[in-house]
Amino acid sequence: MQDMPENQHNRLTERGRLSARLVQGKKEAMPPGLHPLALNEKSDALLYVPTSYQPDRPIPLILMLHGAGGTIRNGLAPFFDLVKGQELLLLAVGSHERTWDLLIGGYGPDVAYIDLALKLVLSRYTIDPQHIAIEGFSDGASYALSLGLGNGNLFTHIIAFSPGFMAPASRTDSPRIYISHGKHDPILPVDRCSRRIVPQLRREGYKVHYHEFLDFHSVPSKIAQEALNWFINTNHDNGTQT
């Protein structure tokens, strides 16, 4: 895959658009385990590869985004303890600053770094084109919704745990969406956040699975398991359980 000119890539980045795409051909995969991807000096990423990975069998991929002040290991937390024995790749990416660029002043370096990390993974692994998700918690959930809606031609699913808002610069395709929110969340109150976001998405024609739970600003293990099952078992094309 030939890289696009830098100025063209910068214009895409400023619009919150990703250029990473599925790659055909020979794959040079890393062995099973957890691998740091030191792609630049400002940010980092972690890739989890299951022992069951086989290059001739397409595998689902989830891009995971931490909350404000979090780390890449925080980003992995919702699903990391649930994926043992699953055929699933997890890619956790860290923000350049304390939180994601969109919440600071607009799309920029975080989009570029996510694009770089995704290009590496998509070039080395055989990914299931019907199961590519972007997931996040709190500020990461707001970013996942915003970036996911703007890149529905790449992401088939969006998983947002306790989002605060959504601000896609544009919209492409119709990714399926899972949203959860604690009824007693004091940080991002559900009345001001998901109870506004979910009806708006449904009015716009998106398929949304929404779950409110009796807890605070968190991702309970039962919610994480439900979201993971939803992602694995829901086919993007028709929304049916596989």
State what percent of residues in the chain have pLDDT above 70.
90
Report residue 3 as tokens: 């890289």
Spatial distance between the Cα atoms of 129 and 134, rounded to a whole number of angstroms = 13
- To the nearest 10 degrees (0 to 180), the angle between helices 221-233 and 72-80 is 80
The kind and range of the H/E element at 220 are none
Q: Where are the domains of the chain?
A: 6-18+33-233
The kind and range of the H/E element at 19 are none
pTM above 0.85, yes or no: yes
What sign does the dihedral 229-234-239-242 (CA atoms) show? negative
Q: Does domain 6-18+33-233 have CATH number 3.40.50.1820?
A: yes
Q: What residues contact residue 139 under an 8 Å CB cut-off, 6+ apart?
A: 67, 68, 99, 100, 103, 164
Spatial distance between the Cα atoms of 169 and 157, rounded to a whole number of angstroms = 18
Give pLDDT tens digits along the chain (242 positions). Answer: 345 545 545 566 767 899 999 988 777 899 999 999 978 766 689 999 999 999 999 999 999 999 999 999 999 999 999 998 899 999 999 999 999 999 998 999 999 999 999 999 999 999 999 999 999 999 999 999 999 999 999 999 999 999 999 999 889 899 999 999 999 999 999 999 999 999 999 999 999 999 999 999 999 999 999 999 999 999 766 554 43
- To the nearest 10 degrees (0 to 180), the angle between helices 139-150 and 109-124 is 70
What pLDDT, on the 0 to 100 scale, is given for residue 231?
98
- The number of beta carbons lying within 10 Å of the beta carbon of residue 208 is 18
